[in-house]
Amino acid sequence: MSQTPKTFEEWWVGSHYRRFVQREGVPLYEDSYLENLATLPLADWERRGGKAAYTRLGDQEINNLQIVEIPPRGELKPERHMYEAVMYVMSGSGATTIWQEGESKRTVEWSEGALIAIPLNAWHQEFNSSADKPCRIFFGTNMAQVINLYHNLDFVFNNPFVFKERYSCAMERDYTERAKHWNKRLFETNFIADIRNFALDAWEERGTRTSIMRLYMGNASSQIHILEVGEGTYVTAHRHFAGAHVIQIAGQGYELLFMPGDELNPQKRRKVPIGPYGAVAPRLNEFHQHFNTGKGPFRQLAFKGWGYTPTTITSRGEYDPTGAARSDNPYASAFKLRYDKEDLSIREEYYRELEKNGVSLRLEPIDQGPG
Ligand SMILES: [Fe+2]
């Protein structure tokens, strides 16, 4: 007779994503913050070569990061998969070759700052073109969700289905020339050579010092954007579903993370430094707040699953720590902590940080960042 389960995990079907990462033989990083993806310890990765690690940030298994390092002149083995992926280059230079049965092959060259879409289930292979330097990249994916959902690695990594509308559309849009600025703040492309200096559109509604570009890449449903926060300002706290990832790509500052109910208690607010390539992926309803304390703007790359935008864009949900009316939109999932409801010590601490860094500009904070 089988024994009575004693732990929570034993009562449930285990996480196939966790099991998969174990099988890969590389580290799995948890929490809702990682200080630097560029220096995170990785382990040898037999399946594709190079070194790798995975994340399970924000206590969720929808979106995750796969961090990869390729040795000098090294290459990864080709793969294809039934999850969406965008690739970002943190250091080094190389190339990715992308192909799909019956269609033309494409090779995209990249270096630090590049963002590349990998069309769904298309083959891709990465190469390091340097003779003496490793390169480090990460993939933002919904791998965790897909592996848990289908529960079968053969289906996920060895699936013959050909998504013509994903690959062909991506190729037609091209990886270089035919990117399209559809309208203000929405850009369709499959490749940006350096997102650290890619032109964003002003977001006047959020103040004159903030800009954004939402990116539609690889005909995918994952949502991506780049947000820039000007010197001497910060984004007011907000919270939403778990799964959204923010990766700092330029500029320095700090993040505050706290759970609802703790916003008036400085001891319970977690303060962590943020600089390239720090990552923040808040837990369900965990408030998060970005503070730019450096000279010049700071920039963040965000990726999230499907379904965030309708709520974050239309929501005017506001969180009131006094417990009064919390939202005028019953469907709102993104609540922000309004500037005038914010604990004064948050602002005072920010001003002290600015003084320490010799930044004299102090402007009204941004009402709310997306994602
Ligand atoms: Fe957010």
| Whether residue 108 has pLDDT greater than 70 | yes
Ligand 1 mean position, distance from CA 212 (Å): 14
pLDDT per residue over 114-163, tens digit each?
Answer: 999 999 999 999 999 999 999 999 999 999 999 999 989 999 999 999 99
* C-alpha of residue 287 to centroid of ligand 1, in Å: 8
Burial grade of 306 (CB within 10 A; 0-12, 13-18, 19 or more): middle
3-state secondary structure of 142: coil
Task: Tell how far the Cα of 238 is from the centroid of ligand 1, in angstroms.
Answer: 6
- For position 164, what pLDDT does the model report? 82
pLDDT at 332 (0 to 100): 41
pLDDT of residue 317 exceeding 70, the answer is no
| Predicted confidence (pLDDT) at residue 340 exceeds the cutoff of 80 | no
For residue 98, the CA-to-ligand 1 centroid distance in Å is 32
At residue 172 the predicted structure's pLDDT band, cuts being 50, 70 and 90, is: low
Distance (angstroms) between ligand 1 centre and the Cα of 308 equals 10
Q: What is the Å distance from ligand 1's center to 80 Cα?
A: 30
Residue 342's pLDDT band, with cuts at 50, 70 and 90, is: confident
118 CA distance to ligand 1 middle (Å): 24
How far does the centroid of ligand 1 lie from the alpha carbon of residue 286, in Å? Answer: 9
Dig out the tokens for 88 from the structure. Answer: 């970002």
Structure tokens at 19: 């099991």
Residue 324 has pLDDT above 50, yes or no: no
Cα of 242 from ligand 1 centre, angstroms: 9
% of the chain surpassing 70 pLDDT: 82
186-210 confidence digits (pLDDT tens): 888 888 999 999 999 887 665 557 7
Q: Is the peptide bond before 83 cis (omega within 30 degrees of 0)?
A: no
Residue type at position 169:
C
The alpha carbon of 27 and the centre of ligand 1 are apart by a number of angstroms equal to 26
Which of 235-239, 309-313, 316-320 has the least mean pLDDT?
Answer: 309-313
Q: Which two tokens stand for residue 263?
A: 């916003």
| Separation of alpha carbons 99 and 80, rounded Å | 10
Distance 81 CA to ligand 1 centre (A): 28
How much distance in Å is there from the Cα of 371 to the middle of ligand 1? 4
Expressed in angstroms and rounded, the spacing between residue 235 Cα and the centre of ligand 1 is 10
Instruction: Look up the pTM and report it.
Output: 0.89
Angle at 191 between CA 79 and CA 145, to 5 degrees: 45
Which of 7-21, 34-48, 197-211 reaches the highest mean pLDDT?
34-48
Instruction: Check whether 338 has a pLDDT greater than 80.
Output: no
- Establish whether the linkage from the previous residue to 150 is cis, with ω within 30° of 0: no
Mean of pLDDT values over 279-293: 92
Q: Indicate whether 325 pLDDT > 60.
A: no
Query: In this model, does residue 81 exceed pLDDT 90?
Result: yes
Q: How far is the CA of 243 from the centre of ligand 1 (A)?
A: 10
> Cα(320) to centroid of ligand 1, in Å?
17
Q: Is the predicted pLDDT of residue 1 greater than 60, yes or no?
A: no
Distance 91 CA to ligand 1 centre (A): 26
Backbone angles phi, psi at 113, to 5 degrees: 100, -10
- Answer yes or no: are the C-beta atoms of 300 and 224 closer than 8 Å: no
Residue 322 has pLDDT above 90, yes or no: no
> What distance in angstroms lies between residue 285's CA and the mean position of ligand 1's atoms?
10
Residues with CB under 5 A from ligand 1 (ion): 371
Query: Distance, CA 370 to ligand 1 centroid (Å)?
Result: 6
CA of 313 to the centre of ligand 1 (A): 12
Least confident among 22-36, 155-169, 231-245, 314-328: 314-328
Residue 302 CA to ligand 1 centre (angstroms): 9
Q: What mean pLDDT is reported for the chain?
A: 85
